Structure 1
């Protein structure tokens, strides 16, 4: 199928031409028929020389330019109508600016009403603006049909295997069927039973039609009507999309190349596909950053236009360069970004998930790290940075267990913490309990000296744990004691209670010599300690299943 939109000044006969070609009057609304004026998008179709042609008829009045753009946005070709009676008019100029801004290069010009006036002036005006476009008189329908076939032959074949993104132009409900949406399918294939995504939810295609005929599948380029299960027609409308799940990224900020003859206002409306979204424009040399009022599923290479609705002016044509642009917070970042975009293309991110690269429109090229794709040079640089970052942090936090994974992720500016473990492979660092450290890390000198003092005390009386005051005098607080335990220099029995590294083994050996079962008091005497140590020590031995506590409170060594 070949989908072609009309364009041209109001009352130049676009709808009449479509009706003469197809036998179908495209205006649907009662108000359109009463006023004799196209207000909304109209649809008609026919077959020419064995080819299916579907026409999207657009309004020509300046008040309905937004509707016109919604019709032209997704289509690959335009039939431009200029009346011989009036020639080139203001809306002819605006529609041409829109068509050119949208990058539509396949154009057929039809001079209408040639039976009412000499078409020479109109043809001359067209030749000035579209020197390479074929021009044909609307009074010769056979010539129009022949030129439509020739136009269709010049349009590149669409990618029928591409990810689906159907820009919706209508949404309504049919009794007994439910919600139906229509749009121009520019790429990909729709099938009954497919799941499609809208607004973060998935919906099943329960039926398809194209040109009022039921279909099991519809491939691009085509007009498609999609019947969806579970979706209220009020929750989807013009400017929304149905798309392949997981294959598209909604973005509210994009970098674009700009084709404009003058400086852009800061607030405009972006027309892309069938959507019209207010945007804030930040100039970046020959490019710009657009902040969208609502996210859209865009990809690199998408073409749209910026319009100033207050001035009824097409401000610029745009091409999407980057749908995940870097922030511009640093001084000079905007100037640097403008230089990067001056080439008219953006480089892929140095680190991204494979499915995200595909959704952004980049090829999946680079070093694979799990589900991530990274730039090899960038990855090598991060591997060099990692031990330096860990050493610097460890110097500043000398008694910590190690550098927290999340802290290291932020330091290295990695997008996800799972990349840290992959980065550490083979560089002499280990991950344990959520922290990164060198294996066999030792205590800092000041802590080492204090722990040696405690070890001397415990060598003389193994189960006489130092009192809180003694530990305080040695500057051994909770963090220092935790570091000594991690270094396997001391054993934690309870909060603030530490013994030697072999305390549990030595205690079990001594308790083995007692008559079984034994009481806490008997254990306390055998270990030559206090109840402050004996009770938590026995509880720890219970947890280790070295002792078993009975119902009467006595214990047996296992």
Structure 2
């Protein structure tokens, strides 16, 4: 199916032409039929002899109903521009073409109606002249009459050629359907309609309506029940869990967790930004949304909406001045997650950056500006993330090369600072390393450490081969070693340790690298002291008392008791009763 909207001045025969093409009445209201003037959107469809099925969205031409016209035109991928041969180009012809141009529609056909009443040549030439300056450009013009049938075969052929040129829709993508009608059917409940531009819908699917899940109870397309409908299509959706009074024209129905809704966007606008009103209406999709307009310069504006919408870069809309009732210009969304503008001149610099871009910001520009972005978030923002050559993919994140280099440099510097300040404990704990560079996800830390020339050993990030350094404590440890080499069990007392600048941290570091052995907090000996003690204790009658052991080692109870308890723990001695021990078979044989 292909969806085509009509456009053109009031009473130029749009509805008559749709009726002639489809055999259906597009005007839904009795008032419309009585007055002979379309007021709201109408719908009709037909299958061409050439094969394609067309669904028409018939829009009103009167200037009072411009909002309804934009609601029908906004979601449509193609347009049938209608100009009457007897009246030619008129005010709403120009306004509708301005809307077509603002929305960037490139596919259409020109139908010159009432060609049975006047020579269509002049009206055709005039219309093509105006259209040539728009995004439609090279359209085929067909002279027709919706009353006599003149030219209808040629128009059907032109329409078949038109839809053959339309780009193929994305049928497996995410859904965003702008609701253009909501009503109740007795026995079925709430029904909404809209143009499905991408993705597919299936009975039983869950969609989101303004942060609220709704379930598809039934589907219809072209008046027939369907189990599944895929883009592009006009579709009626029977929803469960919502009433028609809770749905407004322009509400988006979207795939859950697939869109990032925003109420702040930056957009390019093709008009004088300084002349824009501060308060305007943004027509986008089938909706009309009040917006606050902030001109930034260089043809760029920042738009603030009262509600968050699922928008993406490349979306097009129209700004309308409600006070003057005129179209101010078309906008193209450039960024749906813009940065804060806090410094003087930031808006102008930002506008210049966006204006220099040829199109809506791609993945490289988005990631460069934000540093690092989850892959899932970029997908929700509508940014194409296929093979991003200008960014790094680290796990589930996209990271700009400049940010990655800065993180690596900051991590290296943080490790170096720590090693200087705490030589006894080189490197950083994993949580501290993550905080040091403000890393958004700890899962990136291992790859970042490699990039920085560091390594993760156990729970720490450190320089390759890093080991605790005693630093200023080296002198004190050497003095202790000298003393204990001469008298292995003459452990220095706390005042001596304090004098040497050896606190608990320094002693722990010295023990970690094998320079000393701590027997509790107050007793320090050399690592070979237990073996030396066993050699002396082996010369005693077994079992031996604590006093005998103390005398054999020529030391004090302050040293002897924690040393004997250490020998008990490592299994070289066994306490038979308080104050009485014996060596075990596990004790090494040591010559003293």
User: Which bin holds the TM-score, normalised by the shorter protein?
Assistant: 0.7 to 0.9
Match of 1:14 in 2: 14
Match of 2:357 in 1: 343
**What is the distance in 2 between the residues matched to 1:449 and 1:423?**
37
Write out aligned runs for 1:4-43 (5 A).
4-29=4-29, 32=32, 37-43=37-43
Asked if 1:185 corresponds to 2:196, the answer is: yes
The answer (yes or no) to whether the contact 1:168–1:237 under 8 Å persists in 2 is no
**What is the distance in 1 between the residues matched to 2:266 and 2:105?**
21
Measure how far apart 1:480 and its partner are. 8.6
Write out aligned runs for 1:83-162 (5 A).
83-84=84-85, 86-113=87-114, 122-131=123-132, 132=137, 133=139, 134-136=141-143, 137-139=145-147, 141-144=149-152, 146-155=154-163, 156-162=166-172
Match of 1:45 in 2: 45
Give the structure-2-normalised TM-score. 0.71
Equivalent of 1:311, from 311, 324, 333?
Answer: 324
Match of 1:211 in 2: 222
Measured at CA, do residues 485 and 34 of structure 1 come closer, stay the same or move farther in structure 2, by a change above 3 Å? farther
Measured at CA, do residues 482 and 276 of structure 1 come closer, stay the same or move farther in structure 2, by a change above 3 Å? farther
The gaps in structure 1 that reach 5 residues or longer are 510-526, 545-558
Match of 2:77 in 1: 76
SS of equivalent to 1:425:
helix
Instruction: Between 183-192 and 419-428, report the one with greater CA deviation.
Output: 419-428
The gaps in structure 2 that reach 5 residues or longer are 535-554, 571-592
Match of 1:523 in 2: none
The answer (yes or no) to whether the contact 1:265–1:281 under 8 Å persists in 2 is no
**What is the distance in 1 between the residues matched to 2:398 and 2:425?**
33
Measure how far apart 1:236 and its partner are. 4.4
Larger-gyration structure (1/2): 2
Give the structure-1-normalised TM-score. 0.74
SS of equivalent to 1:442:
coil
Match of 1:60 in 2: 61
**What is the distance in 1 between the residues matched to 2:470 and 2:320?**
66
The answer (yes or no) to whether the contact 2:488–2:526 under 8 Å persists in 1 is no
SS of equivalent to 1:21:
helix
Measure how far apart 1:129 and its partner are. 0.7
Measured at CA, do residues 491 and 165 of structure 1 come closer, stay the same or move farther in structure 2, by a change above 3 Å? farther
**What is the distance in 2 between the residues matched to 1:458 and 1:66?**
95
Measured at CA, do residues 431 and 213 of structure 1 come closer, stay the same or move farther in structure 2, by a change above 3 Å? same
Q: What CA deviation, in whole Å up to 9, does each residue of 1:295-339 have, x standing for no partner?
A: 332333332222222222222223333444455445665455444
Q: What CA deviation, in whole Å up to 9, does each residue of 1:153-212 have, x standing for no partner?
A: 234242343413232222334444344322111223333344444445655434221011
Instruction: Between 139-148 and 99-108, report the one with greater CA deviation.
Output: 139-148
Measured at CA, do residues 151 and 447 of structure 1 come closer, stay the same or move farther in structure 2, by a change above 3 Å? farther
Measured at CA, do residues 455 and 224 of structure 1 come closer, stay the same or move farther in structure 2, by a change above 3 Å? farther
Measure how far apart 1:99 and its partner are. 0.8
Measure how far apart 1:57 and its partner are. 1.6
Asked if 1:168 corresponds to 2:178, the answer is: yes
Measured at CA, do residues 89 and 192 of structure 1 come closer, stay the same or move farther in structure 2, by a change above 3 Å? same
The answer (yes or no) to whether the contact 2:311–2:336 under 8 Å persists in 1 is yes
Write out aligned runs for 1:232-381 (5 A).
232-260=243-271, 263=274, 264-277=276-289, 278-329=291-342, 333-341=346-354, 342-345=356-359, 346-347=361-362, 348=364, 349-350=367-368, 351-358=372-379, 359-366=382-389, 367-374=392-399, 379=404
Over the residues paired in the alignment, what is the CA RMSD in angstroms? 5.4
**What is the distance in 2 between the residues matched to 1:274 and 1:340?**
30
**What is the distance in 2 between the residues matched to 1:326 and 1:148?**
49
**What is the distance in 2 between the residues matched to 1:122 and 1:60?**
18
Match of 2:454 in 1: 429
